A and B are shown apart, each in its own frame.
Chain A
Amino acid sequence: NAGVMQNPRHLVRRRGQEARLRCSPMKGHSHVYWYRQLPEEGLKFMVYLQKENIIDESGMPKERFSAEFPKEGPSILRIQQVVRGDSAAYFCASSPPTGTRSPLHFGNGTRLTVT
């Protein structure tokens, strides 16, 4: 039973390029969350999605960042025209579609470096 899969593990982009980060949730999970972590800091919430719907994007910068979770395929976090300040580890987590509050299951992250 595979856990949350994120790829790539490491991504290097030059300023102005686009970064695409992919996340496949655990089997049976239909809720996906994206978090960003700067070195030596905690995780900052970015966006929460269900299949084909963005539920909460209150932590997502208004410009250059977008996220989707299509009916088929992984969730994608897209950063356009990257800048050095976008360098961070981006973590995806998933949870099941139950009514009870449950822990999140995290992937191992994508480390984005903008040169």
Chain B
Amino acid sequence: SQQGEEDPQALSIQEGENATMNCSYKTSINNLQWYRQNSGRGLVHLILIRSNEREKHSGRLRVTLDTSKKSSSLLITASRAADTASYFCATDTGAAGNKLTFGGGTRVLVKP
């Protein structure tokens, strides 16, 4: 079964608008992380939220976590063209090391 499913799969917005994407997962987690991937590049870590946290902010990013619903959301406020990328949630179940399980991603296009 897939751990970490993002919704929507794709999102197109105008610069200045907010972008919201959601992630659902199936098993218990230690933490949940969000990453960004620009086309042709590796993933860049954005934010980590622990299982005992409900909300976290970093600049224009806001992440929420609802462990009872096994879901998380990432909000990007006042989006910019440079925010165009794919966004992935990843779950850390506490297995050996920092092994992560990734979802399929949300492709965000911010139009100038």
- Range of interface residues on B (Cβ < 8 Å): 20 to 34
Total contacting residues, chain A, CB less than 8 A: 26
Known interface pairs A41-B104, A42-B4. Does A103 touch B42 (Cβ–Cβ under 8 Å)? no
**Which of A14-22, A78-86, A105-113 contacts its partner?**
A105-113
Chain A residues with CB under 8 A of B96? 48, 55-56
* B2–chain A nearest beta-carbon distance, Å: 9
Whether B97 lies near A56 (C-beta < 8 A) is yes
Whether B101 lies near A91 (C-beta < 8 A) is no
**For the complex, would chain A's binding face be called helix, strand, loop or mixed by DSSP majority?**
strand
Known interface pairs A42-B88, A42-B103, A43-B43. Does A102 touch B98 (Cβ–Cβ under 8 Å)? yes
Interface residue? A104 (CB, 8 A): yes
Question: How would residues 20 to 36 of chain A score, 1 for a CB under 8 Å from any chain B CB and 0 otherwise?
Answer: 00000000000101010
Interface residue? A45 (CB, 8 A): yes
Chain A residues with CB under 8 A of B42? 4, 91, 93, 106-109
Interface residue? A95 (CB, 8 A): yes
Interface residue? B44 (CB, 8 A): yes
Number of inter-chain CB pairs below 8 Å:
67
Interface residue? A62 (CB, 8 A): no
CA distance A56 to B107 in the complex (A): 30
Whether A42 lies near B105 (C-beta < 8 A) is yes
Closest to A4 in B: B42
Chain A CB within 10 A, most for which of B31, B33, B42, B107: B42
Known interface pairs A101-B30, A101-B94, A103-B48. Does A45 touch B43 (Cβ–Cβ under 8 Å)? no
* A12–chain B nearest beta-carbon distance, Å: 16
* A54–chain B nearest beta-carbon distance, Å: 11
Interface residue? B102 (CB, 8 A): yes
Known interface pairs A41-B104, A42-B88, A42-B105. Does A101 touch B45 (Cβ–Cβ under 8 Å)? no
Chain A CB within 10 A, most for which of B33, B96, B97, B104: B97
